[in-house]
């Protein structure tokens, strides 16, 4: 059973994503409800990270240094020539040997980046999961035996919920204890967030 791997390196998170939640930007409409466009998924992740980075800075938590987005996709052809990759939604059914894995390296935005209006409900769960991980990182550096680190990665699993009406809007749904689907039949996407090491405090003179 072979899974083809594609690697995409994106220099800046701010410059990616062409699908807006409210539909202001040019939308890429998927061929069916079982898949979503890569643009839509990256756009949602971008919105979540913009909000998280600002919240981390405001609360004194370690900032995000790098993010790796791993997507399970399938390819379609149009006119027998044009090849396009689509992210598999929750409930989408495809043979494993016909899927492609895409690794996208993202650079998180600086704190204070504006968040798109209308994106809150679609990304809040993902934001909460990343923020909770950051709190754990900070807590590891306190106490009688603090954990000192130069870098720390946290991997979060999620699924993509497509637009039932066939549109381009999607929702990012982290996999938690409350998840009721069959994971063996679900395309699980992953987000690996790397936190910057805390800045050592300078002892008072």
Give me the number of domains the chain comprises: 1
Domain residues for the domain of 104 are 4-196
**pLDDT digits 0-9 by tens, 18-35:** 333 333 344 556 677 788
Q: Per residue in 32-81, pLDDT tens?
A: 778 888 988 898 888 888 888 898 889 888 888 899 999 999 888 776 66
Rounded distance between C-alpha atoms, residue 199 and residue 186, angstroms: 40
Q: How many CA atoms lie within 13 A of 115 on its CB side?
A: 21
201 lies in a domain? no
More confident: 29 or 100 = 100
Q: Decide if 27 is inside a domain.
A: yes
Q: Is residue 204 part of a domain?
A: no
Continuous segment of H or E residues that includes residue 157: strand 151-161
Token match 């409800």: residue?
33
- Residue 31 domain-assigned (yes or no): yes
Please check whether residue 77 lies inside any domain of the structure: yes
- 154-195 confidence digits (pLDDT tens): 888 888 887 666 555 787 888 888 777 777 778 889 999 998
Threshold 0.95, pTM exceeds: no
The pLDDT of residue 166: 55
Is residue 60 included in any domain, yes or no? yes
- Is 182 part of a structural domain of the chain? yes
Rounded distance, CA 108 to CA 121, Å? Answer: 20
Give one DSSP letter per residue of 94-130, joined into a string.
--GGGEEEEEEEE-PPPTT----TT-HHHHHHHHHHH
Neighbours of 67 (CB within 10 A): 22
SS3 154: strand
Please list the alpha-helical segments (H only) found in 15-170: 38-59, 120-140
């Amino acid at each position: 059973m072979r899974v083809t791997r594609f690697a995409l390196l994106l220099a800046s998170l701010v410059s990616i994503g062409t699908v807006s939640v409210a539909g202001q930007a040019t939308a890429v409409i998927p061929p069916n409800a079982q898949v979503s466009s890569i643009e839509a998924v990256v756009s949602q992740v971008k919105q979540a990270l913009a909000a998280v980075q600002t919240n981390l800075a405001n609360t004194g938590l370690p900032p995000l240094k790098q993010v790796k987005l791993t997507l399970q996709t399938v390819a379609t052809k149009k006119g027998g020539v044009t090849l396009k990759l689509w992210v598999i939604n929750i409930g989408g059914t495809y043979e494993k040997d016909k899927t492609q894995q895409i690794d996208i390296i993202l650079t998180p935005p600086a704190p204070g980046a504006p968040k798109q209006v209308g994106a809150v409900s679609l990304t809040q769960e993902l934001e909460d999961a990343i923020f909770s991980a950051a709190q754990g990182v900070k807590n590891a550096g306190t106490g009688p035996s603090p954990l000192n680190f130069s870098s720390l990665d946290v991997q979060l699993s999620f699924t993509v919920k497509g637009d039932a009406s066939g549109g381009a809007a999607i929702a990012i749904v982290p996999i938690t204890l409350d998840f009721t689907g069959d994971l063996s039949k679900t395309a699980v996407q992953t987000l690996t967030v790397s936190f910057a090491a805390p800045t050592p405090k300078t002892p008072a003179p």
